[in-house]
Amino acid sequence: MDKLIGELHSFESLGTVDGPGLRFVIFMQGCPLRCKFCHNPDTWKINEAKYHRSPDFVLEHVLKYKNFLKRGGVTITGGEPFMQPEFLKEILKRLKKEGIHTAVDTSGYIFNEKVKEILEYVDLVLLDIKAIREKTYKNITGVELKPTIEFAKYLDKIDKPVWIRHVLVPGLNMDFEMIEELADFVSTLKNVEKVELLPFHQMGEHKWKQVEEKYELSNTEPPSDEDMEKAKDIFKKYELKV
Ligand code: SF4
Å from CA of 172 to ligand 1 middle: 15
| pLDDT tens figures, 87-120 | 999 999 999 999 999 999 999 999 999 999 999 9
The residue whose CA has the least distance to atom 6 of ligand 1 is 35
| Contact yes or no for 9/49 (Cβ under 8 A) | yes
> What average pLDDT does the segment 220-242 reach?
97
Residue 1 has pLDDT above 70, yes or no: no
Residue 227 has pLDDT above 80, yes or no: yes
- In this prediction, residue 175 carries a pLDDT of 97
| Contact yes or no for 167/198 (Cβ under 8 A) | yes
- In this prediction, residue 13 carries a pLDDT of 87
Å from CA of 33 to ligand 1 middle: 6
**Ligand 1 in contact with 43 (CB < 6 A)?**
yes
Residues paired with 194 in a beta bridge: 163
Q: Quote the CATH superfamily of domain 6-237.
A: Aldolase class I (3.20.20.70)
- In this prediction, residue 2 carries a pLDDT of 52
- In this prediction, residue 38 carries a pLDDT of 96
Q: Which of 118, 124, 127, 70 is nearest to 94 (CA)?
A: 118
User: CA 146, CA 149: separation in Å to the nearest integer?
Assistant: 5
| Contact yes or no for 50/79 (Cβ under 8 A) | no
- In this prediction, residue 132 carries a pLDDT of 98
Band (4; pLDDT cuts 50, 70, 90): very high
Burial of residue 226, with CB atoms counted within 10 A of its CB: 0-12 exposed, 13-18 middle, 19 or more buried:
exposed
**Ligand 1 in contact with 31 (CB < 6 A)?**
yes
| Contact yes or no for 80/33 (Cβ under 8 A) | yes
> What average pLDDT does the segment 30-36 reach?
98
Task: Give, to the nearest 10 degrees, the angle between helix 55-63 and helix 85-97.
Answer: 40
> What average pLDDT does the segment 41-56 reach?
96
Domain ranges of the chain: 6-237
